[in-house]
Amino acid sequence: MSTTETPDSVVRAYIAQHRAAFLDNLADWLRIPSVSADPDREGEVRRSADWLTAKLKETGFPVAEVWETADGGLPAVFAEWPSGDAGAPTVLVYGHHDVQPAAREDGWDTDPFEPTVVDGRMYARGAADDKGQVFFHTLGVRAHLAATGRTAPAVNLKLLIEGEEESGSPNFSDLIRRHADRLAADVVVISDTGMWAADTPTVCTGMRGLADAEISFYGPDTDIHSGSFGGAVPNPADEAARLVAALHDADRRVAIPGFYDGVIELTERERELFAELPFDEDTWLGVAKSRATQGEAGFSTLERIWARPTAEVNGIWGGYTGPGGKTIVPAEAHLKLSFRMVAGQDADKVRQAVADWVATQVTPGIRHEIEFRGSTRPCLTPLDHPALQSLARSMGRAFEQKIGFTREGGSGPAAELQDVLGAPVLFLGISIPSDGWHSINEKVELALLDKGVEAAAYLWADLAAHWNTSNAAN
């Protein structure tokens, strides 16, 4: 019997048998308030790492250890379970064990650190983001073993569970570079995202990258009197505003020459798949807390946020901003811009294109400075990639329905794994938009958590059957 032919009923029976203990364990973990942003809770983040390490050993991982980050940062957990099969692919699962801050007084109906099950949902900080989605891998790998009769997974399974994701992953880049040898993998599975909806299971195929810039414009040496000089010298606030206005053409395409160089365009198949999703503009606007859509001509809202590069002004300031008026030509003005990039774009080239373009826009008499901060690269796994096919197939078996495809408009440090490890990235997540990430009453749907366990249980056997390391260069 090949690994993909394991009866799904075996997996389901195993999950049903162990569900209660699994949830008890998850609840124990959720009781640890591992809030990475709160210096007073550093001890809790460490306790969470220790708890997970012990639990992974108990699950069967022969290696499970706490990894310290540089500069006194908060620890990650690394675990490894070799397959033992020659030529088995190596998979690295990424998640995080730290959580957002939460307090009952914020408006929670229950104690955020006392998990409470109501109507098939477990409410707790971290239930969906991300402890629940990390933890389904523990029961998932056991179900995989039970169903296949194996004593080790069909893939070389590695886990890297970060402890600083909710505080901006300040040491993540350093961590994965230092441990690149031990993290080496043929494919990365990110379990820190979600699906379109409970009744519309989806697989994400990529994330946008991010580059940001701060641009400063300097005019007069000091603020000067707009009565005496206004209308006769350039105004840096005007300059900043005109630059923002020039960022887009009338079709809301980014007007910076070279900005779109290398962009991997959406395929017709992807556009069809996105169009099949039950998108409702009013509902989406409600989530966006906005009144109207606006974006690049020729693309749908989903295409705009998932698959098109953008330029956004995140902040602008200059001159007098207090009460009343002040008749000045301000000495300086500033912009914070960010650029979302899609696969095929290169952050260095985008930054160079931005810098070159800004230099051509600035009026004589205005001096400008441009500062770029770090960037996050985009990632995209093509629809026909065998690993993505394995994931979609595993999800399809778990959900017993057709799986849709999405992308993620945001950018994450996890995408850096793609670069450092040179491996494609898959997203296996079962959270849904109503799960309340970073908000009050965060929860996970227990029925979907089961599906996560089940998909993980199928995935390792499917990958081993349909993937071999010669695919790794894809």
Site for its own copies in 222-251 (CB under 8 A): 222, 224-235, 237-238, 240-248
What minimum distance in Å lies between the beta carbon of 288 and its own copies? 5
Site for its own copies in 41-80 (CB under 8 A): none
Q: Does the protein bind its own copies through residue 283 (CB under 8 A)? A: no
Among 38, 42, 214, 419, binds its own copies (CB under 8 A): 214
Q: Based on CB atoms, which residue is closest to its own copies, 11 or 328?
A: 328
Helix (H) or strand (E) holding 139: helix 131-148
DSSP 3-state assignment of 227? helix
Q: Based on CB atoms, which residue is closest to its own copies, 116 or 193?
A: 193
Among 107, 282, 291, 470, binds its own copies (CB under 8 A): 291
Among 325, 360, 470, 473, binds its own copies (CB under 8 A): 325
Site for its own copies in 403-422 (CB under 8 A): 408-411
Site for its own copies in 134-153 (CB under 8 A): none
What minimum distance in Å lies between the beta carbon of 322 and its own copies? 8
Q: Does the protein bind its own copies through residue 310 (CB under 8 A)? A: yes
Q: Does the protein bind its own copies through residue 313 (CB under 8 A)? A: yes
Residue in 356, 415, 368 with CA at minimum distance from that of residue 173: 415
Distance from C-alpha of 448 to C-alpha of 13, rounded to nearest angstrom: 16
What minimum distance in Å lies between the beta carbon of 68 and its own copies? 24
| Unique residue bearing structure tokens 């081993």 | 464
CA distances from 224 to 63, 203, 231, 319, 429 (A): 66, 56, 12, 10, 56
Q: Does the protein bind its own copies through residue 377 (CB under 8 A)? A: no
Distance from C-alpha of 296 to C-alpha of 135, rounded to nearest angstrom: 40
Q: Does the protein bind its own copies through residue 289 (CB under 8 A)? A: yes
Residue in 39, 29, 30 with CA at minimum distance from that of residue 73: 39
Q: Based on CB atoms, which residue is closest to its own copies, 128 or 224?
A: 224
Among 319, 378, 404, 429, binds its own copies (CB under 8 A): 319
Q: Based on CB atoms, which residue is closest to its own copies, 55 or 253?
A: 253
Q: Based on CB atoms, which residue is closest to its own copies, 156 or 193?
A: 193
Q: Does the protein bind its own copies through residue 364 (CB under 8 A)? A: yes
Stretch that binds its own copies, among 15-23, 198-206, 304-312, 352-360 (CB under 8 A): 304-312
Q: Does the protein bind its own copies through residue 340 (CB under 8 A)? A: yes
Q: Does the protein bind its own copies through residue 447 (CB under 8 A)? A: no
What minimum distance in Å lies between the beta carbon of 143 and its own copies? 33
Residue 100: phi and psi, rounded to 5, are -70, 155
How large is the C-alpha radius of gyration of the chain? 25
Among 324, 360, 470, 473, binds its own copies (CB under 8 A): 324
Among 57, 336, 351, 466, binds its own copies (CB under 8 A): 336
Q: Does the protein bind its own copies through residue 1 (CB under 8 A)? A: no
| Unique residue bearing structure tokens 């160079």 | 352
Residue in 405, 403, 410, 407 with CA at minimum distance from that of residue 438: 410
Distance from C-alpha of 455 to C-alpha of 430, rounded to nearest angstrom: 10
Distance from C-alpha of 217 to C-alpha of 234, rounded to nearest angstrom: 11
Stretch that binds its own copies, among 4-12, 21-29, 91-99, 358-366 (CB under 8 A): 358-366
Total interface residues for its own copies by CB under 8 A: 78
b vs e for 68-106, b when ≥16 Cβ sit within 10 Å of the residue's Cβ? ebeeebbbbbbbbbbbeeeebbbbbbbbbbbbbebeeee
Distance from C-alpha of 368 to C-alpha of 217, rounded to nearest angstrom: 4
Among 5, 40, 105, 221, binds its own copies (CB under 8 A): 221
What minimum distance in Å lies between the beta carbon of 27 and its own copies? 29
CA distances from 198 to 230, 364, 447 (A): 59, 56, 9
What minimum distance in Å lies between the beta carbon of 324 and its own copies? 7
Q: Note whether 10 and 139 are within 8 A (CB).
A: no
Q: Does the protein bind its own copies through residue 253 (CB under 8 A)? A: no
Distance of CA 347 to the CA centre of its chain: 18
What minimum distance in Å lies between the beta carbon of 131 and its own copies? 22
Q: Based on CB atoms, which residue is closest to its own copies, 327 or 469?
A: 327
Residue 5: phi and psi, rounded to 5, are -95, 5
DSSP 3-state assignment of 404? strand
